[in-house]
Amino acid sequence: MAVCGVCFRHCHLGEGETGFCGARTCREGAVTAANYGRITSMALDPIEKKPLARFHPGSLILSVGSYGCNLRCPFCQNHEISWSEEAFAFAGRAEEVSPRDLALTAYHYVDRGNIGVAFTYNEPLIGYEYVRDSAKIVHQMGMKNVLVTNGTASLSVLGELEGLIDAMNIDLKGFTDSYYRKVLGGDRQMTMAFIERAVQVAHVELTTLIVPGENDDPEEISALAKWIAFLRDSHGNVTGQEIPLHISRFFPSFHMRDRKATDVDKVYHLADVARRHLKYVYTGNC
């Protein structure tokens, strides 16, 4: 029996068993990434699509994803590769791409404006070993690494990537433990601890998807933005006001089709609420 240390679930795995995320397994008594190098999605995207508004704007980045996720967001727009039955079926069909081949592919598109690789689409940290190994080669070739993550990972996992990731967009999906626990199946405290450390080692932007009736209370968004504003850099200085926050509009999807898309005026209002504490607030999907 081995224990996975990636996130708060600490899955206990017997030989050959797979964890809650669908992507980590026990082999010869050790937990490893079953999705290592198994790529389900690859596209050359605008950097703003990650979303990153203040990191090399106007550039493109090679975006890659595997399969599996350690959350269970009912509105997931990438459910085909995250946690649906279809996602786990990808385990046998995903294309194998070595870290070096991934870096070479990214380098091939440099002349088209590509600045590197973004690990995204599913949750990349459940396969952090592939992110780490690929990111090293990407850096060696003079390109950048971006991580798009739900931030539900231990600080030891983040430590494996320090110095390798240049920018992150991290989901801060709400600001109540009940929302994280009951709706997302997550752990807000773990995500907040991850963010606190991440802002000290990389350029970080945060995203909050506004789901009607769940996390759209102005007081909650105010508290969320105020917490961000007091985050500290690696020298202990309070610099959180400079961290960009993306307030995004929800659309019915996957298992959450019981409500309408977020009212656009509501998104704009909540962005204004966040601007009371933060310098850079952007609206998305409007």
Residue 68 DSSP code: -
Contact in structure between 222 and 277 (CB atoms under 8 Å): yes
Rg (alpha carbons) of the chain, rounded to whole number:
18
Contact in structure between 191 and 150 (CB atoms under 8 Å): yes
pLDDT at 90: 63
Q: For the residues of 20-66, what is the DSSP string, one character each?
A: TTSSEEEETTEEEETTTTEESEEEEEEGGGTT-SSSSTT-EEEEEE-
- The answer to whether position 23 is within a domain reads no
- The answer to whether position 13 is within a domain reads no
Query: Which residue would you say has higher pLDDT here, 99 or 84?
Result: 99
pLDDT at 1: 86
Range of the domain at 136: 37-284
pLDDT at 82: 87
For 194-213, what is each residue's pLDDT tens digit?
999 999 999 999 999 999 99
For 55-94, what is each residue's pLDDT tens digit?
999 999 999 999 999 999 999 999 888 887 776 766 667 8
Contact in structure between 98 and 154 (CB atoms under 8 Å): no
- The answer to whether position 26 is within a domain reads no
- The answer to whether position 59 is within a domain reads yes
Domain count of the chain?
A: 1
- The answer to whether position 95 is within a domain reads yes
- The answer to whether position 241 is within a domain reads yes
CA distance 59 to 286: 22
- The answer to whether position 46 is within a domain reads yes
Cis peptide before 218 (omega within 30 of 0): no
CATH of the domain at 151: 3.20.20.70
Q: How many residues does the chain have?
A: 286
pLDDT higher than 80, residue 106? yes
Among 84-88, 124-128, 143-147, the minimum mean pLDDT is found in 84-88
Query: 171 forms bridges with which residues in the sheet?
Result: 207
- The answer to whether position 21 is within a domain reads no
Query: Which residue would you say has higher pLDDT here, 235 or 1?
Result: 235
Percent of the chain with pLDDT over 90: 93
pLDDT at 41: 93
